[in-house]
Chains A and B, each alone.
Chain A
Amino acid sequence: MAFNLTRRKFLQTATLAAASVPLANVVTAQAGVAKSPFTPSGTMADKTMVGGICEMCFWRCQLVGKVRGNKLMKLEGNPKSIDNGQSICARGNAGVQLLYDRDRLKYPMKNVGQRGAPKWKRISWDEALDTCAKKLKATEQKFGAKGICMFPHGASAKYPMQYLEHTVGTPNVSEASFFQCRGIRDTAFLATIGTPPGENVDMANAKVIFGLGCHFGENVHVSHTKRYLKGLENGAKLIIVDPRFSASAAKADEWVAVKPGTDTALMLGMMNYIIQQGKHNKAFIDKHGIGFAEFKESIAEWTIEKTAQTCDVPADQIKRVADLLADNAPNVSIHPGRHVSWHGNDFQRQRSLGCMMGLLGAMGVKGSFVKGKGPKGVGKVGWPKGEHHVEAMHVAAGIYPYSPPGTPTDLIRDAAITGAPYPIKSCVIWGQNPIQTIPNQQKTIDMLKQMDFVMCVDVMPTDITMYADILLPEASYLERYDFIKTGTQWDLSGKQQQYISARMPMVMADFERKDQVYITNEIAKRMGYGDKIPVSALPEMVDMQLAGAGLSIAKLIAEDGIHLQPGIDPYGVADDLLVYFNNAEIADYGYPASPTYIAVEEVPAGHFRLLYGRSPVHTFNRTQNNVWLHHAMPENPVWINDEMAKELSLVNGDRVYCVNSEGVKSRNTTIVKVTPGIRKDCVYMAHGYGTKNPAMSVGAGAGIDDQALITILAVDPETGCHGMRNNFVKLVKA
């Protein structure tokens, strides 16, 4: 493969030419390839740009771009990658359509209409930056830094987030990736095994893979899915606990159709049974366990019978699954999950998963929980911490002791709406779409309506951008430097290698799009923090970070975008590893020290519990306007059990609205999918559909926005994170 080694030159000389080259005009000189102007040439002879790092999702696979003229034609996995290899997923492939989406934000805009019913006027960058800085400064001066809140998401939001948190000094930052997703997992595992687990299970070498709500296949992260499939190919038994016959359940040896919300009980019942059978790993527990006796006693009530009844799972199956785990221990992958903010009882469930790892000794050995040993040395560059330190609201109030970093979302919303404990009057939204991310949309709207100032930075006109006063167009992940990605070969048992790569642009940013360093620095200068600016431009930041590992952008380009070096065997259990089966510190805060099942509200008569999950062609709500992805799955059918459908006279393909138990009706309709593959007490739909912003010409009106139906708030008491599966809906024929 001919890599392009003159990237810098290309980037310097590339012009901002129009994005679309009409197909028929593309003439290629490649003999034997293109035969006529009606035959597309393929991208084989196009220039290869190295150093791409995908951000269609957070997994960040390594890419090369195929560039014709100034146009990016195609993205592929970087052949040098030891992570994703040449594979990328549907969304990764569709990055081209995000880049050239005609609805993308192009110029700085000022809202001359209402928040929520915007009228946009194009303004200059100078005017936009002046306004942002003036308004944020006014809030800072009147209410203190804590009067500003931020909702960030993605690699580009890190730099401005640090500016606001460290230098300006507001604690009111709420990342959806923590508070509506994985934060609970990370802090629960910290309190159990002393480390956030990531998705680090060695599935490729496991004898059993155990997933609680994991729907690999619908949820695709390339190297992660590769590990899972390699495990299955090697004969691993697969156990999937899910109320729905998911993509993974369809490949499973055991599908445990658990009653939603009772997963913790299932875990406790299985662990109690394993202990009763004497099949727990006594040597491991003796060496690494803390509080095992208390734990054992605390879960003794969870007999197989009680568990079967609580979870609505056959007793035989519970035994079978527990035996399968115990008999194959320790080479068992207990998957820690990722999106775990389900029912408001989630910290305890996540603790129970960590305890199961400990019970089986499924840590550090082949096929179990194992963290790869990635390269060291990549440096940090960031905004300096200011002098005045403001305590976050939950810290000051002594609540949510296991909150992930930042401030729990509802504390920010409530403070903004009520003015207590203090007013929050400016809101910075960077890459996040809180409307479709955070439950109870009306509350988010109320919060925004009372602000003195709202600014959004994004690539697309998402729902939240309708509430901005100033809307700034950002360079996408294909048009900028930034993220440093490091790691090891995807199969932990393979040849031990490490990699270091850094995101590099595939093409120049078009129109008036700017990157996060430019935008943040310009605002900082205007707010009087110019002397605190850590770097003047993105490439400079990346070079400073890489220097710590003896690398630079130029060196990485010369190495086809990825630096490889010998790695370290990741297996082995550290002598000082501790597994807190019973954690007294949690009791000190007033919560159960041993994992405990807390029942959730039952489904009201005539309703179904609303479950949501991933579609393989969408990431959160970020990709719904992508024409290629939209065409692959244009709406999100609502799954309903076949017997329930019969009772309700619903047939496949019927068009319905969803109405929740608080009377909120979905804006759009979708089609019914009648299947025996879901429990009778719930319905399911893929998340990430139904944007209400008409500026999203592809996604608007397509499918149902599940978030609009999630109005009942459940907050996990230990962490302050949201649970989003405690809402109930009816299906109403359209």
Chain B
Amino acid sequence: MQYGMVIDIKKCVGCHACTIACKAEWEVPADKDRNWVHRLGPDNTPHGLASTYYPGLCNHCNEPACVPVCPADIIQKTFTDKKSGKTKTLEVAATYKDPFNGTVQIDKERCLGCGACADACPYNARYVNENQINEELGSEGTADKCTYCMPRVEMGLEPACVQTCLARARIFGDLDDPNSEVSRYKKMGAKSLSSVNVNIGSNGLYYGNKRDMALLTATSTPQVMPEANMRRILMAKMKPGFNKAKKLGMLGLVGAVAMKGMKEDKE
């Protein structure tokens, strides 16, 4: 099973309801977004004047750039298939791709809040939620992003953005199921926002007429993979240690400078 979302920009009217419903559902800070709507154009395209929208969110990628950069300790995590009851145990850091439903999720209790995953995502789909501070880990927040509303979906509900969309422009479902609505769209030509350099198996697909798709892909396809910030990853790995040291008053001048540098890096 691979959950995915199609956005039919022929239907989308750019009302922003999806972004706001998500904010309410998941208590997203006012200035952060799990999903967003960018207003594009009016601009000329090879197919004529166009104006459309980029409703974006985490694409729950097949080769997620955000997962391998996570510096948190590796643990053994057992996943259960909700349908069959089958289990699978994988070694994961604090963010991982679920082997059964294909979504990319975050273990909030173990997230260090370093933001390495947010840096690594070419779609800018992650942020650090400063309202969620894990004091035990000394974090300055925890990473956050769209979960495809898994807790809602598991209860038989639609994702919050899908439910509120008056245009029914957001279609959610299993891309592995050839009979699903999302698969039907894929067959009709729904496309991910992928480029030569950014081709990580995004499961967010877009469908529209030629001129709108031309404008969307020209303006909103990421062209470069962000460089993962190695220094940050290293520092984050050391951070729990640093914080313990800080609490014990053992950090000293050098350590304090290192901590400060780390913070500035983040800004």
Contacts and interface: CB of A to CB of B under 8 A. Distances in A.
Interface in A229-261: 229, 233, 245, 247, 249-251, 255
B166 to A, nearest CB: 4
B108 A38 contact: yes
B51 A632 contact: no
Contact of B15 (A34, A43, A77, A90): A90
B253 interface: no
Most buried by B among A73, A217, A631: A631
B109 A92 contact: no
B133 A250 contact: no
Contacts of B13: 216-217, 220, 225, 229, 247, 616
B28 to A, nearest CB: 8
B51 A247 contact: yes
Find the residue from B111, B131, B166 having the highest chain A CB count within 10 A. B166
Nearest to A255: B49
Interface in B22-40: 23-27, 30-31, 33, 37, 39
B24 A44 contact: no
Interface stretch (B69-77, B117-125, B147-155): B147-155
A421 interface: no
Q: Size band of the A side of the interface?
A: 35 or more
A77 B19 CA distance: 15
B138 interface: no
Given A84-B166, A222-B166, A247-B51, A43 B16 contact: no
B166 A36 contact: no
A593 interface: no
Contact of A38 (B132, B154, B212): B132
A35 interface: yes
B164 A96 contact: no
A628 interface: yes
Interface in A24-65: 24, 32-36, 38-44
Contact of A44 (B11, B131, B151): B151
A632 B37 contact: yes
A250 B50 contact: yes
Interface string A96-135: 1100000000000000000000000000000000000000
B20 interface: yes
Contact of A217 (B15, B108, B142): B15
Contacts of A694: none
B258 interface: no
Contacts of B42: 245, 250, 675-678
A240 to B, nearest CB: 12
B41 A93 contact: no
A693 interface: no
Contacts of B20: 90, 93-94, 628-629, 632
Contact of A93 (B11, B14, B132, B164): B164
B146 to A, nearest CB: 13
Contact of B24 (A39, A73, A631): A73
Contacts of B245: none
A216 B167 CA distance: 12
A36 B25 contact: no
15 contacts: A23-B27, A42-B151, A74-B25, A76-B164, A77-B163, A90-B17, A90-B20, A218-B14, A247-B13, A247-B51, A631-B31, A632-B37, A676-B42, A677-B49, A678-B42
Given A39-B108, A222-B166, A250-B51, 13 more contacts: A23-B27, A41-B151, A76-B163, A89-B15, A89-B17, A90-B20, A92-B17, A97-B30, A218-B14, A245-B42, A245-B49, A631-B30, A631-B31
Interface of B: 10-11, 13-17, 19-21, 23-27, 30-31, 33, 37, 39, 41-44, 49-52, 107-109, 111, 131-134, 142, 149, 151-152, 154-155, 157, 163-167, 212
- Shortest 4 CB-CB contacts between residues of A and residues of B: A677-B42, A217-B13, A38-B108, A93-B20
